[in-house]
């Protein structure tokens, strides 16, 4: 009886060893195949294009100074009218021109500062704004605006509030083509990587589209906008 028990235990032990060995083999093989299947490469594709701005915001600012407040307002109104007439005669429509209320400073009423000896008591800061989708026309008019200086208008420049701004508003129109280009370039990079590693490029595992960025080409051409997007794509690789 004892001998039979030992034989059964031996057979059971051998069976367990063989079973565990077989299971280990299949688990190792499965893990190896899964690891091979999970191989991937992540690449980026860039699309960058230049477009002309389609909106211009052009603030025209000037100063007037006087010791008589009524005269100050009269001069502001008169010079504002000159600017509007010049713009309209140059091809800017009246609907594209807006006029803000003048900012008046009474130097004698200021609590601080050394303006007690100022030549003029009152000064006015006025802004006439052009908001137009005719960028080329507005730019051509800008170059000749200084001719109004001969009529006594003191224009203000080189301040932050008076900077001309250009906008590109047709992003939704160009998005599809740019995304397609960025994705195509990403695939070209992935195909080159797969060829170099003697692999085959598979399907997309995951993809993400970066944010679109719009900026001026350079400081001398702010009306030319660069639009840029980077797509990140991860592809499966196989042998």
In this prediction, residues 11-36 reach a mean pLDDT of 50
* Whether residue 161 is found in the same domain as residue 187: no
**Alpha carbons 156 and 100: distance in angstroms, whole number:** 15
Domain boundary residue, one of 142, 167, 192: 167
- Same structural domain, 138 and 185: no
H-run or E-run covering 46: strand 40-52
Average pLDDT, the chain: 85
113 secondary structure, DSSP code = S
State whether 98 and 180 are in the same domain.
Answer: no
Token duo for residue 98: 């807006």
Q: What is the pTM of this model?
A: 0.76
Confidence at 218, pLDDT banded by 50, 70, 90: very high
79 and 8 within one domain? no
Mean pLDDT of 64-77: 96
Are residues 230 and 146 part of one domain?
Answer: no
Q: For a pLDDT cut of 90, what percent of the chain falls above it? A: 60
User: Of 139, 167, 195, which residue is a domain's last?
Assistant: 167
**Is 50 in the same domain as 60?**
no
Would you tell me how many other CB atoms lie within 10 Å of the CB of residue 138?
24
Residue 190 pLDDT > 50, yes or no?
yes
For residues 95 and 156, membership in a common domain is answered with yes
Q: How confident is the model at residue 26, as a pLDDT?
A: 43
Q: Are 45 and 61 in the same domain?
A: no
Question: What distances in angstroms separate CA 136 from CA 88, 141, 213, one per listed residue?
Answer: 15, 9, 23
pLDDT at 10 over 70: no
> Are 61 and 111 in the same domain?
yes
pLDDT tens figures, 22-33: 545 444 544 444
Which of 107, 138, 167 is a domain's end point?
167
Residue 231 sits in which domain range?
Answer: 39-54+168-239
Asked whether residue 92 falls in the same domain as residue 139, the answer is yes
Residue 141: pLDDT over 60: yes
Predicted confidence at residue 224, as pLDDT, reads 97
**Per-residue pLDDT, 9:** 58
Residue 37 has pLDDT above 70, yes or no: no
Nearest Cα residue to 223 out of 139, 97, 147: 139
Question: Which contiguous run of DSSP H or E holds residue 233?
Answer: strand 224-238
At 203, which CATH number?
Answer: 3.30.110.170
Number of domains the chain is built from: 3
CATH of the domain at 76: 3.30.70.2970
Looking at per-residue confidence, does 173 or 109 come out higher?
Answer: 173
**Do 161 and 65 share a structural domain?**
yes
Going by C-alpha positions, the residue among 234, 159, 226, 225 that lies closest to residue 194 is 234
User: Average pLDDT, stretch 179-192?
Assistant: 94
Are 75 and 133 in the same domain?
yes
Q: What is the pLDDT of residues 101-140, one digit of tens each?
A: 999 999 887 656 555 567 889 999 999 999 999 999 999 9
């Amino acid at each position: 009886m004892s001998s039979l028990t030992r034989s059964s235990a031996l057979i059971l032990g051998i069976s367990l060893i063989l079973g565990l060995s077989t299971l280990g083999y299949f688990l190792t093989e499965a893990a190896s195949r899964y690891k091979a299947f999970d191989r991937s490469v992540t690449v980026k594709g860039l699309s960058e294009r230049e477009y002309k701005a389609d909106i211009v915001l052009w603030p025209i600012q000037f100063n007037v100074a006087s010791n008589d407040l009524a005269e100050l307002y009269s001069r502001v109104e008169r010079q504002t009218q000159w600017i509007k007439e010049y713009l309209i005669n140059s091809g800017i429509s009246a609907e594209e021109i807006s006029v803000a209320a003048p900012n008046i400073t009474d130097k004698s009423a200021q609590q601080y500062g050394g303006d007690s000896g100022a030549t003029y008591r009152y000064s006015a800061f006025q802004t006439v704004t052009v908001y137009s989708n005719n960028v080329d026309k507005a730019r051509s008019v800008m170059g000749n605006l200084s001719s109004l200086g001969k009529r006594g208008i003191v224009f203000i420049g080189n301040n932050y509030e008076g900077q001309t701004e250009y906008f590109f508003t047709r992003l939704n129109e160009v998005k599809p083509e740019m995304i397609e280009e960025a994705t195509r370039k990403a695939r070209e990079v992935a195909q080159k990587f797969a060829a170099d590693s003697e692999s085959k490029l598979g399907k997309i595992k995951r993809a993400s589209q970066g944010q679109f960025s719009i900026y001026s080409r350079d400081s001398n051409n702010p009306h030319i906008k660069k639009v840029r997007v980077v797509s990140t794509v991860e592809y499966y690789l196989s042998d």
